[in-house]
Structures are given as C-alpha cells and as structure tokens.
Structure 1
Amino acid sequence: MLTRKRIYHLLIRVFVALLASHFVVVHGTKKSWLELFNKGYYYASLFYSMLIAYLLIEYIYMVSRIINKVFDEHGSAAKRLKYQFIFGFFFASVNAFLLAMILFWIKDENIFTSGYFKNLFVYILLFIFTINVVYLLYYEYVKVPKIRYQMIEIDPAMMGSLRSSALEANLPAIIYHENKICFAVDFNGVKTIWPHTIAESMGFLNPADYFQINRKDIVHRAAIVSFSSYQLRFLKIAHCIPSAKELITSRRKSVIFKEWLSG
C-alpha cells in the first residue's frame, strides 16, 4: 500500500533521477540550458537517461533493503559494507554500462567510440557511489527505531518465582544457533543440543516467557537480570545462567525487547 511516506520517497527518487540525467545530457555541450530546452533531442535523451538513472536507484534501494534485513546483527558492519560494495556498487556499475550499451545500440551508435567512458562513466560511478552511501546512512541512522533507555523495574520476587517454575519444568533458559547447530542451556548452565531451529522454536515456545533477541538467540524472561545500552542501538543483556554466552539484541529487536520485558 502506498503511504504518504512511500510516495514522498518515490518522488525524491524520481527527482534525483531527473536531476542526474539532466547533468548527464548537458555534460560537455557548448549550448546553454535555454537553447537545449528548445531542442527535441534534449527531451528524448533526458527521458532515456532518466529511465536508466531511476532503474539504478531502484536497484540500489532494493539491494540496500535486503542487506539491511539480512545483516541486522551486532558485528555485521564489515559484512554490510562488503556486500553493499559488491551488489550495490559493482553490479550497479555493470548494470549502468549494460543499460547504456542498450541505449547506444538503439541510437545505432558504438558506445566504445562515443566517448562514454572518457566523458561520462566516471560521473556515473560517482553517482552510483553517492546513492549507496545515502542508503547506507539512511538504514544506519534514520530507518532504525529510536531507543529510549528508561529504566524497567524487574521484580526479583516475580523473577525468582518464574525461575523456580522453569527449573522445575526443566525448561531451557537460552537457545542459540552456532556452527549450524542449535543448542539449549538450562537454568543450571547445562548445555545440550536443541533439536529445533530458532524459527521452529519460536513457533511453539510461550511468547510470554521467551523472546528472540536476534536471528540466532532466544532467551527466557526468568534468565534476565538486567540490560544496558551497547554501542549503536543495541542492548546487552545480563543473565543469571552459569554460561559464557553473550546476549546482544539486534537493532530492530531492541525496542520490541524492552516493550516485551516491561509487559
């Protein structure tokens, strides 16, 4: 569904594509802008260039969304940059060349003798690089939910009661995925192999007691002692389990975790 925010975003992408294509078309010409505005070929070239620029922006936008969804965990910044460069910059540059080659073929021109690489390709690479940087910053600082670190009171008596019930029922305190295997750690710190995936586990575990803090970790409410802010929009959870397992929420789950814990 098209919301007002999505419409604004779409209009911004169209405007940026129009602006970029205009500078591509007028680059190197000796005519003034007013003279070009009276030429029919200007608008034809502007349309084709704008179409290519818009497709590139949409492609980088799609890549950035997927990368942000896949690499939402702590410590994944290097991987995000790596895949943003490979898919967002390198393949976008290849796509830009292929689209330009199709355009030159339609115009019955040879792209290799047209001066495309000498006069324009560097600016197109700069354009692609800038769009990648914009979306990296957008998903890093704008799209991520804001976290307010108000204190949440954890009732020791209630947690003690929950912990006793979990111990009696032999429930896992922490479930995590490591080296393609799922493990469970009970409230005594005993680690065993867990025969379910993280997704499967959240399908049958009680959501009032268990919370998936990131793609690989699930924690029981009674195992939580406290939490604190950690680096950029992460939360680090202190637990009472005799285990060295470190619990850090993903950026997206930080806000939801606080709401779940306070409820």
Structure 2
Amino acid sequence: MPRLIQISDCHLHADPAARSRTGVPCRQLEAVVAAANRERPDRVLVTGDISHDDSAASYALAARLLDRLEAPWDWLPGNHDVLAPMAATRPLPAELTLGAWRLLLLDTHVPGAEHGELESPALEALASRLAADPRPTLIAMHHPPVAVGSAWLDAIGLHHAEAFWATLAPFPQVKAILCGHAHQAFATRRAVGERSIPVYGCPSVTDPFLPGSETFAVDAVTRPGLRVLELGEGEVETRVERVDISK
C-alpha cells in the first residue's frame, strides 16, 4: 500500500535564522522532514507557500532541506509563492503516479492575490484529464475548495469553488482532495451528486492558525505537523502527526 506524506506552508526566508510569529521556519521544516522520514513514505508532496520573502534563496534553502527526504518529493505553488524562482529551483509537475493511484496537482495561485482560483480553461483541462484515465485519483491544491470555519480564511480560499465541484461530478475515481493554506489540520466531506468526496487540510510547518477564528489569529500552542495518507484499493486512510521541535 503506497504511503504519501503531505507537508504544507513552510514560509521560509532566505536567512535560515529568520523567525516567524511562533518559531524559526527553517528549524521547523528540518524537524518535519525528519518526522516524515520516520514514516518511511513512498512519496512526499509539499502543497504550497514554500517561501515567505519571494527570494530565489528561500527556494534554494527549501530544496536543500527537502532533499533530506528519503523519498521522492514534489511541490506545488501557494499564494505566497513566486512561480519563476520556484520553477527554476525545481519543476512544478502536473501529475504524479503512486502505485495504482494518480495524483493531479492543480495550480490555484493568483499572482498578487491571497485567494485562489481555477478558471474555465483549467477546469476544462481537469475534466479532460479525468475523462482520459479511470485510475483512483487524488487531487492536490493549495487553497481549500470548502469553508474551513474561519471567516477571514474562508474569504481567501478557492473562489468560485462550485465550478470545481461541478467539474468533478461525473468522475467517481476522484477519492479525496488535499489542500494547504489553512495552516491547520481538518477533515470534511463535500457532497457531489450521490456521493461525497473527503477534503483534507494539512498542518503547517510554521505559524499554525487558530481554528474557528473570525479574524486572523495564530495558534501559539499547536505544534507543526504533517499528514500521512495510505492509498489502498481505491480507498484512502489518513492521519495527522505532530512534530516536537524542542528536541
């Protein structure tokens, strides 16, 4: 059974010693990478917001740290990312294969904006890709396509999400959606026709957000973490692991 690990929202600076609101992102990513290796994954996916300062050096630092993973890894962009230096550091794949599973990586990044979008051409391309291949499929993106229960976060989630869900309706092979951006773990389901599709949010590497907050608030207590996904016979099992950065 293939094992996928999701990491998200690293928010690195060019300076490895730079601090975030609740810690040192470089040190926190080092700890998350070490924890990921203990899980012995078959692949690791980083779902956006790699950089916080838009610098090429921050992406180079991220790549050096993620190269410590003992499994292949890939990334996709978030709202804080700048595509040119990110793609120059490491390619941005659109699709991955993991055992019998297919993993589609969507780019919801909107230059200069915090919210995400999937415009009509992207959704048409997604429908064509799904129609061409019936394998069990995960879809990964940065922005949640569902409300997460925090007013300020929901305002900068995936805009026009109904069009995304309508695109998925004819394709029962879509088994789950993975996203970042919310800086918190969550699990919910979205009804699509006669079935429902799970949506999983990932803990952040840095600056966890306080769940249920009306305005921006950081959770100074919650530790960084990662999501582990076991890909079975057309079904997904998942859990969240937290990382102790005091060691």
Q: Which has the higher contact order (CA 8 A, sep 6+)?
A: 2
Indicate the structure (1 or 2) with the bigger Cα radius of gyration: 1
TM-score in terms of structure 2 length = 0.21
Higher helix residue share:
1
TM-score in terms of structure 1 length = 0.20
